[in-house]
Structure 1
Amino acid sequence: MKIIFKTALAAGLVAVSLLNSTIVLADQDKGLELAKLRKQADSGWQDSQASLTMELKNAAGDTSLRKLRIKSLEIDNDGDKGLTIFDTPRDVKGTAFLNHSHAVEPDDQWLYLPALKRVKRIASRNKSGPFMGSEFAYEDLSSFELEKYTFHFIEETMLDNQPVYLLEQVPVDRYSGYTKQRVWLAKTHYQPLKVEYYDRKNTLLKTLELQDYQQYLDKIWRANKLVMNNVQTQKATTLTTTELVFKTGLRGNDFNKASLKRAR
């Protein structure tokens, strides 16, 4: 009887293990499928130019305002390219940030500091650091690429009266500042409405809310307001788009290192 019982118990444990493995694989497959839909829904825009304001808020509630421009170029079969130029206030005027996102290799990032008149390369292991004193990290400025994460579907739920898919995405880069991100994707356009970022201790670090979505080119949805709240420091950064245009004729040579110093 003991032998029969142990055999049955072992068989039951194997069955449970196989079932759990099947569920995990199913969740991974569905997570990847939804991530692909997200990527596909935000493709075909070619290039864009945007004007934005950046509001920094400290833990005491004091705020400061910056104005900046972002130029972006869509790249087939790799990550996108972006050039950020600060216009005001005077202490950051002329500062420019160049980002070459990649799907598999580490991103290439450079920062031009006009006061020093030199270009500083951002090392891969430092990309978790804050961008220009904001609550956005350098790695947050990279384009969304499927190869950067593993995905898990968690559930279908509601967020602010909107039906969403809740996913978990885990960065594959060992230098990422995050152990995981939880992403709420709108069912209507497959774009994120909220993202939670967990630090290297697997503790909630900050949350990003993406608001005021608008459709462009009859197919591309972009949030006009991004609010990043650091739940550990109580600081926040809000990015608000004041103007956004697509297909402006930007080319690859608008996003090389020389473009940093001539950025105006």
Structure 2
Amino acid sequence: MHYAQLGLTIKRIFSDLSILPAKTIARLYDELLTKGTMGRKVLSINGYQKAYLGVHYQVGFDETQRANFNPIPLKDNYVKTPEFLLAESGLSPYYNRESVLAKIRENYSGYLSNTHASLAHWRRNPNFPLIINNLRKKGWRDWQILAAMADFLLHEKATQIAPPANFNSQDDWRAAFKTAYAELKSTDEKDSYMEVPAEELAGPHFEPYLNKVPADILEVYGLQKNMDFPNFTAFRAILDARFAFYSDDVKELSPFNF
């Protein structure tokens, strides 16, 4: 039973940390059990201790002063990645550029439907091109910026329709907010316009919407979000390294061709 529990735990970790579709995860896990003979690779009683000590530099670990129960520093430069855990380089075999570009084209249409009235207003602001160019300098492509804008506007409007103060519980508010968001998303912005200053796009309120774009657009790459609390920075890193997230775009569809 101990090893059965370990197997289930490994599968859960594998599933939670992966951004592959659930069916693909299930197939790969079955291959680990059969072709990889994972079921016969049991650990000795001190196997966890050996694995833990094997991924730390002694000097770096000692600096945390674990013996004194001091907090571990926020920086993690004392951790080293074993060679067998290093990420592969190059584009993923799951990456299909033609499919990705087709989905980006499709998404442009939806994003523009939710933002075109606001974009018309923002273009009259002389600072708008500077705001967009600053976001580009941070490595964001135009379709990703537009995705964040659409999410930001929909969130602001849904909050106006379903303000948290009007509900007795978080569950009731979330349900009302989700309904309002979905309805707004399927509505052309000419019928839901709400003025939002362009300067909001350069402030801290907009940044979280931009940072979570990698998690929001995983379906563009045939991937899916499996974890409850995703690491957006890690998502962007893997998409950049393995799925050309940093470069793919359909520039002729961009509304930012200043």
What TM-score results when the alignment is normalised by the length of structure 2?
0.22
The higher-RCO structure (CA 8 Å, 6+ apart) is 2
Greater percentage in strand: 1
What TM-score results when the alignment is normalised by the length of structure 1?
0.21
- Kindly name which structure, 1 or 2, has the bigger radius of gyration based on alpha carbons: 2
Greater percentage in helix: 2
